[in-house]
Amino acid sequence: SPGIIKGIEKKVPHKKTIMIPNGCDFIKHDIEHKDDNNMFTAVFTGAHGFANGLDKVLDAAKILIKNNIYNIEIQFIGDGALKHQLIKRTKDENILNCKFLDPMSKQKLFPYLINNCDVGLMILDNIPAFYYGTSPNKFFDYISLGLPVINNYPGWLADIIKKNNCGIVVSPNDPEALAESLIKLKNNPKMLKQMGMSSLILAKSSFDRNKLSDQFVKFLESCI
């Protein structure tokens, strides 16, 4: 992440340093037609742990129900220490617009996302160390599939999303804003499509693994 590379540069300014970020996988897949049920689907993939702050997503889901919005569904794909607790909360509080799925291999996950989901959720707990010290795989998966991203914490990913207009950035600990962003994208198909195209352009221009590999090789050769 940018935070780590800055720390390295401070400690070893006499050394040449370079940051090769996480890359995007462009797996070939067949695109089917989404079920025409008017359901807008947001997805969170990855660990369901203490660092992820997923209770705020459940809070946003409750706000949608409170406002009688039933055509937005939030899916959670993955596993983690808090998964059973999150599922229990949805049952106890009757949060019916959330769905939990088992982890998938990337070969299965990518076709599922492209055929079933409209937007990716980039969610973390509001911890300052995460702002510039993390580089989550899920972000790169989302944009490689052309999914807009909703991000809920400051930092370099939030900056990239705003700069490239490939999603919406909301404030931390603000489930109301998260719910509003889902409603906004649901009600604006043109915006959703434009942001999705921007995601794919960003993935191919800045995070293509082949280009990053070439960059790494050229850097090593320059050090010889």
Per-residue model confidence as pLDDT tens digits over 133-165: 888 899 999 999 999 999 999 999 999 999 999
Under 8 Å between Cβ of 121 and 86: no
pLDDT for res 15: 62
| Side-chain half-sphere CA neighbours of 149 within 13 A | 33
Is the Cβ–Cβ distance between 172 and 157 less than 8 Å? no
37 pLDDT exceeds 70? Answer: no
Q: Average pLDDT for residues 186-210, to the nearest whole number?
A: 93
For the cut 50, the answer to whether the pLDDT of residue 186 exceeds it is yes
Residue 176 predicted with pLDDT over 60: yes
* pLDDT more than 70, % of the chain: 88
Q: Name every residue whose Cβ is closer than 8 Å to that of residue 200 and which is 6 or more positions away in sequence.
A: 143, 144, 145, 146
pLDDT at position 64 is 98
